[in-house]
Structure 1
């Protein structure tokens, strides 16, 4: 870990001398606004690996993004190097098709504790479910952020993350009925318990998520990045720019399909991502929404 290189990657220029809440909030926000949530390697004939050196080289030195098993694994390393009391946790993502949480703890997150309070840090869920700053681990508390009002709810030791959002306003009528548009104002995101996990607990899941024909990540190529006013996303061939309008109670969605020849240009101009191998975009039906 080279913290100076990481700080440069996310644009952190502040003075750091001890772990505190303000710094945690800032680097969390800078991470999600600088490093995309993306699974493009899978659709470029490459493999994602849970090796910190490889992840550091990919995300920090090669200016790529990653999925949660890379981004959050890296972020946990950063937090520990900075002196934060950090515990890795596993969470089960909500699947709207089966109306339940998935059976496996496939999503990696972190609990961060200091000054007698605990927070959940997650820099890699993407789109409208992405928190900009860590959430205080307190049950039932409304925690407003740009994307909506997040809540953590303790259900007899199982913590559930949900978000109350806004109505989508899709500008392009061609996408008015798109399955990518989330029309539920209250969205369940994932659940977790507070049992510590190790990196090894995710090795088999990482392989499965890249090979299982039913996996979200084998069915969709995804790249999303938070912005000061919303987020950008490229799902398959569909590019979206979403603007949060809390004062109007809506989210504005500008959506369009990108021709194959323009994919590389969009990735570079909108996400600062340059791929080594050719991307094969994919957007099969699944439970995933913006």
Structure 2
């Protein structure tokens, strides 16, 4: 189902600069998680630039993210990561989550996807595709679990039974998303992908959304508003001018675009 036999594991490991051991254990899971979020940004540019499709087949995802060095939105990144974990020998399922950050809405559509990995009788939330607010390592999927460090997170359970992943910031905890671990399949991803690409209420098809997590700084660009987050400090927010916004994909997020795509992006910024 996850096409592990078809993934180019060596090329992926090179793309994310991972040089550690590769085995179905917690050390590898942590290492791959951190390497992936450091190297691969969240990128909605294909939808913004009017692509008629964002393919989720493994071949297309590898071509875009691994060989072209682009980012991708969560569905693309989960397809890639699931194939990698399957190839290595991990046992896991996928689930969908209702995003709360920036919306505050607990009842929106479940558009985000992540993985639940089973290791030695424990379950781990493995989410490499939530962008600059997401965890940099797996967090144990258990009540009141915490991930502490420069970037801290916890999991709380609500009376409905949903778990909520929270980003613990100096200004207070930020609820990222609520979820159950009901199993989702690649066929479900296709439906979510279609919504994100075409629906008028999709948050991803009418303005630029780029995000990246690095060890000491995280960046979020929504439209022309750039948020910078550093450990233990309040977030800073500023508006970019058109030239800054046009250069941001490469200079801040490490995304190199072809000249025709840069021109098209410039038009979206000039006439949002």
TM-score (norm 1): 0.81
Deviations 1:51-105 (A, max 9, x none): 1110111000000001111111211111111111111111222276564231x32
Secondary structure of 1:271's partner? coil
| C-alpha contact 1:154 1:160 (8 A) present in aligned 2 | yes
Gaps of 5+ in 1: 168-184, 285-290
Q: Say which structure is richer in strand.
A: 1
Secondary structure of 1:74's partner? helix
Partner Cα separation in structure 2 for residue 271 and residue 187 of structure 1:
23
In the superposition, relative to structure 1, how do residues 200 and 115 fare at CA in structure 2: closer, same or farther (>3 Å)?
same
| C-alpha contact 2:98 2:106 (8 A) present in aligned 1 | no
Range 63-72 or range 188-197, more displaced: 188-197
In the superposition, relative to structure 1, how do residues 196 and 32 fare at CA in structure 2: closer, same or farther (>3 Å)?
same
> What residue in structure 2 maps to residue 59 of structure 1?
65
- 1:129-208 → structure 2 map (5 Å cutoff): 129-153=133-157, 155=159, 157-167=161-171, 185-208=172-195
Partner Cα separation in structure 2 for residue 282 and residue 117 of structure 1:
50
**1:160 Cα deviation (Å)?**
2.1
> What residue in structure 1 maps to residue 199 of structure 2?
212
Equivalenced residues, count:
259
Q: Does 1:87 align with 2:126?
A: no
Q: Does 1:28 align with 2:33?
A: yes
Gaps of 5+ in 2: 1-6
Which of 249, 261, 268 is matched with 1:267 structurally? Answer: 249
Secondary structure of 2:230's partner? strand
Range 226-235 or range 139-148, more displaced: 139-148
Partner Cα separation in structure 2 for residue 105 and residue 117 of structure 1:
25
